[in-house]
Amino acid sequence: MQLDATQWSTVYNILSFGLVSMLATTVYTLVSQNRVLPKYRNALVLSSMVTFIAAYHYLRIFDSYKEATTEGTFTVITDFKESPVAFNEGYRYVDWILTVPLLLVEVIAVLALAKEAARSLITRLVPASAAMIALGYPGEVSADQGEKIMWGVLSTIPFLYILYVLFVELGKSLDRQPEGVAATIGRLRLLLIATWGVYPIAYLLPIIDADGAASSGAFVGRQVGYTIADVAAKCVFGLTILKIARMKSIAEGMKDDH
Domains of the chain, residue spans: 5-251
Residue type at 26 in one-letter notation: T
Mean pLDDT of 13-26: 96
Residue type at 93 in one-letter notation: Y
Q: What is the per-residue pLDDT for 45? A: 94
pLDDT tens profile 76-120:
766 544 555 678 888 998 999 999 999 989 988 888 777 888 888
Mean pLDDT of 120-127: 90
Measured CA to CA, the distance from residue 159 to residue 128 in angstroms comes to 7
- On whether the CB atoms of residues 115 and 106 are closer than 8 A, the answer is no
- On whether the CB atoms of residues 32 and 51 are closer than 8 A, the answer is no
Q: What is the per-residue pLDDT for 36? A: 92
| Residue 16 pLDDT greater than 90, yes or no | yes
CATH of domain 5-251: 1.20.1070.10
Residue type at 243 in one-letter notation: K
Share of the chain above pLDDT 90, in %: 37
Residue type at 160 in one-letter notation: L
Q: What is the mean pLDDT of the chain?
A: 84
In this structure, of 17-21, 25-29, 141-145, 184-188, the range with the lowest mean pLDDT score is 141-145
In this structure, of 138-142, 189-193, 208-212, the range with the lowest mean pLDDT score is 208-212
| Residue 211 pLDDT greater than 70, yes or no | no
| Residue 207 pLDDT greater than 80, yes or no | no
Helices in 165-236 by DSSP H: which ranges?
181-196, 198-208, 216-230
Q: What is the per-residue pLDDT for 147? A: 85
Q: What is the per-residue pLDDT for 80? A: 47
Residue type at 141 in one-letter notation: V
Question: Which carries the bigger pLDDT value, residue 72 or residue 88?
Answer: 88
Q: What is the per-residue pLDDT for 145? A: 79
Taking the alpha carbons of 173, 188, 195, 11 in that order, is the dihedral positive or negative?
negative
Confidence of residue 43 (pLDDT cuts 50, 70, 90): very high
Q: What is the per-residue pLDDT for 87? A: 83
Q: Three-class SS of residue 69? A: strand
